Structure 1
């Protein structure tokens, strides 16, 4: 149980970071297939392990909630003080997860190059459409609670929940495209204030997250069963491209910056190694 909750925390942390995928973190931890099977199992008519599946998903979701809320302020601090090094840490996490994914999911199966390029193109298009992901110090004012606002929160939650299961696709990056990422992050960072407008917004966002997880799991499970090789190739393309688009291009690289960024990248790879061993 503890390992599952820790895995959920890692997934939650990944979903706060623009460009880093919660699904990729599931692959690193070796729980991607288990999560997909558990979600499918809940909706099967005859499933003697339904309660086990529900308990497993509950543990993952509890961990994810802890990671989302607990890391929101930390990510803000890191981006404000060490933005470039933080990005290279994320790059290390994503890039070093590629061989983990190929070993755990592909298992010697040949890659289809066209689906791989399609997956990579999706990430590049998302990056092109997204505003600057590095402006993590933006703190927008909380809007009034209206019906439209609640519907927007459900939509944001559905995006975050749906992309949580897709390796290589960053829910935070997609929220940046919708112009909702900084509001999402601010709500998470302020949840401990117990403000009513914050709690109401997060409640509706939680509804969206659950909807997104179920819909994404159904679609991903279908394509993995019907088009296994092609779907894995698309996912691999998503992961590879994600490690590329995270590279900061508007930074002056001094010697000290290069050294610290290199260390951060290797630290990300070391964490992947540790997480794989734990898994």
Structure 2
């Protein structure tokens, strides 16, 4: 039980950091296949292990919730005092995960060009068509409660839930590109205030997370069984493009910022390489 909760905490932390995939974290920690089997098992008519599957999923999700809420507070501080360096830390996490992905998930698989290019195109298109709102507001004000907000929170939750178990895809990175990441992070960082302006939107986000996890599990299971090489090539394209679109070009660089940003990239690489040793 403790191992599952700790693994969930690591997955939760990964889902708060743009560029880090919760699914990839599951692969590194060795619980990805167990999670896929557990989610699939819940919906099987005949499953003698349904109770164990539910308990396992519950333990991982409890850990994920602790990791998400706890680390959101840390990111709040990092973005307040070191916004550019924090972004470069994310970039380091992504860039150094690429060779590990090639060595691990892509081992024995041939890169398919078309899915890879599609992965690149998806991220570049999201960046191009995104108006950029929400990217520069580190601590946005909470919007007024409305039906539109509730629908948006379900969508945000679905993205987070889907990418929580999909290797190679970072939900926080997608939310950052779409301009919704800082709102998402601020809600999580203030959940302990128990304000209705925070609790109600998070409740709708929880609904979206459940929907996203179920859909993602079904898609991952289908494509890894029927189109594994193409599916992994698509994911690789998403990862490569993610490391490029996050580069902050609108910042005035001086020697100090360049040095600290480079150090942040290296630190991100050290973390990724360290996690790979766990496996």
TM over 0.5: yes
Counterpart for residue 140 of structure 2: 139
Cα deviations by residue, 1:234-260 (Å, 9 ceiling, x for unpaired) = 111111111222222223333322222
Name 1:116's counterpart in structure 2.
116
- CA distance in structure 2 between the aligned counterparts of 1:141 and 1:221, rounded to whole angstroms: 37
Deviations 1:194-226 (A, max 9, x none): 123322221221111101110111112111111
Residue 129 (structure 1) shift: 2.8
Question: Within 1, Cα distance between the matches of 2:157 and 2:45?
Answer: 27
Q: Distance in 2 between matches of 1:104 and 1:31?
A: 15
- 1:17-96 correspondence runs (5 A): 17-96=17-96
Higher mean displacement: 254-263 or 168-177: 168-177
User: Which residue of structure 2 aligns with residue 231 of structure 1?
Assistant: 231
Name the SS for the 1:110 alignment partner: coil
1:117 touches 1:234 (CA, 8 Å); kept in 2?
yes
Q: The residue matched to 2:272 in structure 1 has which SS?
A: helix
User: Over residues 129-165 of structure 1, what are the superposed CA-to-partner deviations in whole Å (9 max), with x where a residue is unaligned?
Assistant: 3316652523223423x44443332222112212323
1:239–1:28 distance in 2 versus 1, CA, 3 Å: farther
- Contact conserved, 1:68 with 1:188, CA < 8 A, in 2? yes
How far does the alpha carbon of each residue in 1:25-51 deviate from its partner, in whole angstroms, 9 at most, with x for none? Answer: 334444333332322222223334333
Q: CA deviation at 1:56?
A: 2.5
What is the deviation of 1:99?
A: 2.2
Q: Which moved more, 1:25-34 or 1:50-59?
A: 25-34
Distance, in Å, in 2 between the alignment partners of 1:163 and 1:213 is 8
Which deviates further from its counterpart, 192-201 or 251-260? 251-260
Task: Tell me the alpha carbon deviations over residues 90-117 of structure 1, each in whole angstroms, 9 at most, x when there is no partner.
Answer: 1121111122222332222211111111
Contact 1:24 1:97 in 2 (8 A): no
Q: Which runs of 5 or more structure 2 residues have no equivalent in the other structure?
A: none
Flag structure 1 segments of 5+ consecutive residues without an equivalent.
Answer: none
- SS of the residue 2:104 aligns to: helix
- Deviation, 1:89, is 1.2
User: CA 1:250–1:183 in 2, change beyond 3 Å: closer, same or farther?
Assistant: closer
**Alignment root-mean-square deviation, CA:** 2.4
1:195 is aligned to 195
Whole-angstrom CA distance in 2 between matches of 1:87 and 1:183: 16
Contact 1:113 / 1:233 at 8 angstroms: preserved in 2? yes
